[in-house]
Chain A
Amino acid sequence: MSKYYLNHLKELEAEAIYVLREVFAQFENPAILFSGGKDSIVVTHLARKAFYPAKIPFTLFHVDTGHNFPETIKFRDDLVEELGVKLVVGSVERSIQEGRVREETGKDASRNRLQTTTLLDTIEENGFDVCIGGGRRDEEKARAKERFFSHRDEFGQWDPKNQRPELWNLFNGKHHPGEHFRAFPISNWTEMDVWQYILNENIAIPSLYIAHERDVIWRNNTWLPVSEHITIRPEEQMERKMVRFRTLGDITITGGIESDADTLEKIVAEVAAARQTERGNRADDKRSETSMEDRKREGYF
């Protein structure tokens, strides 16, 4: 190979930086949807690179379900302080208190779906015209259809049948007042790319991704973390296990896998050998074959 070539990670990085700069140039009030998960951490790291030596010109925007891993919140606050950026928190708890949404009840109740209302309300309150997300097309079949610049109507809805064609590197972010965009700079990355990149760049991530001892129960085919937000059922038994999480979401729905991968190198090796997708342990995706598509149509990210 000639010396003028970029390996796949460098090429993906260059593409993501280009997209982030386009977002900055084409929109008035952008925010990074920051969940504290690895993908939004990588996006934030890329934003740092895109505008270096200037500060990240984006607000960090966290949709807080109120059912967080405490580690995630601490990680978020530390990062915000380090970067010196503004943080906006949309609270699902508040949406419930204000009667904007009703908490689900029943056996597998989750706040996942409620996030959409909080997300859209907070976008409106803050006047964000674009939210940059860490969504990747390899995650889920509905996401495979996603554009880099993804238009949302005034109700925040995604219409997969009426997306703007995206050609070459010409992104069209034009929109009417009230509409907004979602931008996905790491669309073309896979889970493996994200982990290799975190390893190469030595990016800090919450300890939850790394194998650790934790109290868990076996529910819905996964090791669910014991927390104040779940009720242990009579037939369930709390156990102490070495686990780690492949994705991070609401603590009530994020299942862990048994693992002894306690370093980034071991995680990369484990991901390489994985026979299940990373979202295989997310209860929110298992509700129906199209649950992600349905949520995205409503405005979920």
Chain B
Amino acid sequence: MSETNQNIQLLRFTTAGSVDDGKSTLIGRLLYDSKSIFEDQLDAVKRSSERKGLEHIELAHLTDGLKDEREQGITIDVAYRYFATPKRKFIIADTPGHIQYTRNMVTGASTANLALILVDARKGVIEQTKRHSFIASLLQIPHVIICVNKMDLVDYSEEAFDKVVEEYKEFSAKLDVKDIRFIPISALKGDNVVDKSEAMSWYKGETLLNTLETIHIDSDHNYIDCRFPVQTVIRPHSDEYHDYRGYAGRISSGIFKPGDEVTVMPSGFTSKIKSIDTFNGPVEEAFPPMSVTMTLEDEIDISRGDMIVRTNNKPEAIQDVDVMLCWLNNKGPLPRTKYTLKHTTNEVKAMIKDVLYKVDINSLHRVEDDPEIKMNDIVRVKIRTTKPLLADPYNRNRITGSIILVDDSTNETVAAGMIMNRN
């Protein structure tokens, strides 16, 4: 192999910060200083910066892709960016800081290993910081990095940084985030982003890029609860594979091996794994997030939406589900509207039976006397489904604990939900 490293991991992270916190500048800086920008892209940004009469290159322009975004200088929708260093590959879910903030942040956060939250050193922890942190906690993003930005505007003062850290720690004690780190940076000047800052010799920690490259993400998957939602059944009907019947899907969690005793949900039939097949041959073990095809010892009727699990560790089959819902659509739900609920590879009809409370994401308080759901609201609801869901609590399993609601008249995805309990 040449100088390009093959055996590296993928880290998915999301960025959050309010409009003027310098989020686009930070991403631009990461891409620019890690030499992930091509000359023709840079030329295009230089040209458009000149056209606007700017003296410096507007790094933020590297990330604003749509015409309207560049014209208005705002980010409208989640965009995905890619860069790589010799140590890791990165996928950035670049989420807009305002207007539809909650909805977009939830979208970007749903698949992220890490959230990068920007705080303006001059302003400290503001409402926006709290919202973003709450969403990171709600979505169970395993790692959070608080980038205290614009350190150049507070004379690179250690006291200013410490003050923000203290403030944040006090507030975040209420949150459920396992790993929080703090880095003082200047995205505009490049301090502690890729290169260590000379202006902040008091800071002994790692740079942002170094943290992203080395943070331990192996244990972000659930390797305990074996869950294999069946996507489709493979029946080749060819001479060679005449009787072949394989269940294709992606391992959500747990480790499966041939010979394991498994139960097929919801039917409850039990069998043993005969083989775990891939195009490159059978494998001895399958773990998340592998896509494989399983065959079983016994002929059982299994179809899409069913789940293969370990016999001694089953998800609960429930029809009354307690869900934390983020409403994504302009139009709120009408009473007794029926939705299609998508959960793993399964689809059922569902209805919101009861609004338990709304979360005021600024104060993190529960609001119990406002049952009307609007866009960007986060509400705890009771959902009744027509058929049982094979569900795990979201804080235990991000794949089998998540749902979306689809409006049957418009086909739009109107809500994202996290299953809260096993009741």
Cβ-based interface call for B80 (8 A): yes
Q: A164-B412, A269-B2, A289-B44 are in contact. Are A52 and B279 (CB under 8 A)?
A: yes
Cβ-based interface call for B106 (8 A): yes
Q: A17-B291, A167-B106, A274-B38 are in contact. Are A145 and B79 (CB under 8 A)?
A: yes
Residues of chain B with a CB closer than 8 A to A269's CB: 2-4
Contact segment of A3-11, A94-102, A111-119, A223-231 = A3-11
Say which size band chain A's interface belongs to.
35 or more
Residues of chain A with a CB closer than 8 A to B248's CB: 21, 50-51
Cβ-based interface call for B234 (8 A): yes
A176 to B411, CA, bound (A): 8
Which A residue sits closest to B246, measured CB to CB?
A: A53
- Does B279 lie within 8 Å of A49, measured CB to CB? yes
- Does B9 lie within 8 Å of A145, measured CB to CB? no
A8 to B10, CA, bound (A): 5
- Does A7 lie within 8 Å of B404, measured CB to CB? no
Cβ-based interface call for B32 (8 A): no
Q: Which of B38, B84, B293 contacts A276 (CB 8 A)?
A: B38
Q: Which of B79, B84, B255 contacts A144 (CB 8 A)?
A: B79
Cβ-based interface call for B89 (8 A): yes
Q: Which of A52, A167, A275 contacts B404 (CB 8 A)?
A: A167
- Does A18 lie within 8 Å of B291, measured CB to CB? yes
Q: A1-B218, A14-B289, A174-B406 are in contact. Are A7 and B412 (CB under 8 A)?
A: no
Q: Which of A1, A15, A274, A293 contacts B66 (CB 8 A)?
A: A293
Identify the interface centre among A2, A13, A172, A196: most chain B CB within 10 Å of its CB: A172
Residues of chain B with a CB closer than 8 A to A274's CB: 38
- Does B103 lie within 8 Å of A53, measured CB to CB? no
Cβ-based interface call for B157 (8 A): no
Residues of chain B with a CB closer than 8 A to A25's CB: 231-232, 304, 345
Residues of chain B with a CB closer than 8 A to A157's CB: none
A55 to B238, CA, bound (A): 9
Residues of chain B with a CB closer than 8 A to A24's CB: 232
- Contact code string A188-209 (vs B, CB < 8 Å = 1, else 0): 1010110010001000000000
- Total B residues in contact with A, Cβ cutoff 8 Å: 83
- Does B241 lie within 8 Å of A192, measured CB to CB? no
Contact segment of B114-122, B180-188, B395-403 = B395-403
Which B residue sits closest to A17, measured CB to CB?
A: B291
- Does B77 lie within 8 Å of A145, measured CB to CB? yes
- Does A54 lie within 8 Å of B235, measured CB to CB? yes
- Does B411 lie within 8 Å of A172, measured CB to CB? yes
A165 to B89, CA, bound (A): 24
Which B residue sits closest to A280, measured CB to CB?
A: B40
Residues of chain A with a CB closer than 8 A to B221's CB: 4
Q: Which of A9, A53, A193, A277 contacts B236 (CB 8 A)?
A: A53
- Does B2 lie within 8 Å of A174, measured CB to CB? no
- Does A165 lie within 8 Å of B81, measured CB to CB? no
A127 CB, nearest partner CB in chain B, Å: 18
Cβ-based interface call for A131 (8 A): no
- Contact code string A1-42 (vs B, CB < 8 Å = 1, else 0): 110111111111111011001101100000000000000000
Q: Which of B67, B78, B234 contacts A53 (CB 8 A)?
A: B234
A276 to B278, CA, bound (A): 36
Cβ-based interface call for B197 (8 A): no
A230 CB, nearest partner CB in chain B, Å: 23
- Does B80 lie within 8 Å of A166, measured CB to CB? no
A49 to B77, CA, bound (A): 33
Cβ-based interface call for B48 (8 A): yes
A80 to B223, CA, bound (A): 40
Cβ-based interface call for B171 (8 A): no
Q: A169-B399, A269-B3, A277-B38 are in contact. Are A188 and B82 (CB under 8 A)?
A: yes
Q: Which of B265-291 contact A (CB under 8 A)?
A: 277-280, 285, 287, 289-291
Cβ-based interface call for A268 (8 A): yes
Q: Which of A4, A11, A169 contacts B10 (CB 8 A)?
A: A11
Cβ-based interface call for A242 (8 A): no
Q: Which of A9, A51, A175, A193 contacts B411 (CB 8 A)?
A: A175
A190 to B36, CA, bound (A): 12
Residues of chain B with a CB closer than 8 A to A55's CB: 236, 238
A280 to B403, CA, bound (A): 41
A160 to B79, CA, bound (A): 11
- Does A165 lie within 8 Å of B3, measured CB to CB? no
Q: A4-B221, A53-B236, A176-B411 are in contact. Are A14 and B291 (CB under 8 A)?
A: yes
Residues of chain B touching chain A, judged by Cβ–Cβ distance below 8 Å, are: 1-4, 6-10, 38-41, 44, 48, 64-68, 70, 76-82, 84, 88-89, 91, 103-104, 106-107, 110-111, 218-219, 221, 223, 231-232, 234-238, 240-241, 244, 246, 248-250, 255, 277-280, 285, 287, 289-291, 293, 304, 328, 340, 342-343, 345, 398-399, 402-404, 406, 411-413, 416
Q: 26 interchain pairs (CB within 8 A)? A: A5-B9, A14-B250, A51-B234, A51-B248, A52-B234, A52-B279, A52-B293, A53-B246, A54-B238, A137-B79, A137-B80, A141-B79, A142-B66, A145-B78, A165-B106, A166-B413, A167-B106, A167-B111, A167-B416, A172-B342, A172-B413, A175-B411, A188-B80, A190-B84, A274-B38, A276-B40
The 4 A-B pairs of least Cβ separation, nearest first, read: A141-B65, A49-B279, A17-B291, A54-B236
Given contacts A21-B232, A49-B279, 5 further A-B contacts (CB under 8 A): A7-B6, A25-B304, A168-B398, A176-B411, A290-B67
